[in-house]
Structure 1
């Protein structure tokens, strides 16, 4: 075997791997949510998905017309939520929640949760996207 060729092939493979753009790139807040469309919703939790890379909370919201609509909002990753002291038990089905965040660009009943306030008054910053507006920015709007 030609060792010079083998060494060059190995070096080329390493360089190609090191410079490849990952296909699993993380989405940005701005790609899916609209920072110009804040949401402020209250309802009752129906389901929680405590999964990576983002957890999701689903809750029923009664509209002004009395019709109930199920909303889904994105939370941060489970380890981020654990670091701030929020557990799955805190948002178990049947729990009343107050969500502040931003509407999804898809036009449906989906959004990005910046904060969740529980019925006992505790508030948690649930968002984890690096380019999302902060709680301070949202409060100023």
Structure 2
């Protein structure tokens, strides 16, 4: 069976359209986070976003001067977190958590969460990057 010119044209157009769609690039840990800057923070949950490819947890952290700063921490994928018992119910707004991880390279209030200790005392590996130094454990400086 010989393909017709219309079929070949349709396949070519489909190929071009598929190539033109934006790709969701996945970044390495080292692209955004600094392995030389481990952090450990405690704060109150303000928001949990269970989205692919990385979930995010936001918390209010009391600063040494008494002010409060909102921090965002990258977590692993929602499915991986769910397998570990992390859901919106386990991290409700207002609950206190402690996070060990690494600070963002840009110096802003963002980080990569390696281990999160929940209000009930459970410690959970919440990071998803395979190349993160905290695939072991982050030790604060």
The TM-score bracket by the shorter chain reads 0.7 to 0.9
Aligned length: 139
- Equivalent residue number for residue 83 of structure 1: 83
Deviations 1:30-81 (A, max 9, x none): 0000010011000000111111111100000001110100000001010000
- Equivalent residue number for residue 133 of structure 1: 133
Distance in 2 between residues matched to 1:69 and 1:79, nearest whole Å: 29
Please report how far the alpha carbon of residue 86 of structure 1 lies from its aligned counterpart in structure 2 after TM superposition: 1.4
- Equivalent residue number for residue 59 of structure 1: 59
Please, which runs of 5 or more residues in structure 2 have no aligned partner?
10-21
Please, which runs of 5 or more residues in structure 1 have no aligned partner?
10-21
The answer as to whether partners of 2:103 and 2:111 remain within 8 angstroms in 1 is: yes
TM-score by length of 2: 0.81
Task: Indicate how the Cα distance of structure 1 residues 23 and 111 shifts in structure 2: closer, same or farther if over 3 A, else same.
Answer: same
Report the aligned-residue RMSD.
Answer: 3.0
TM-score by length of 1: 0.81
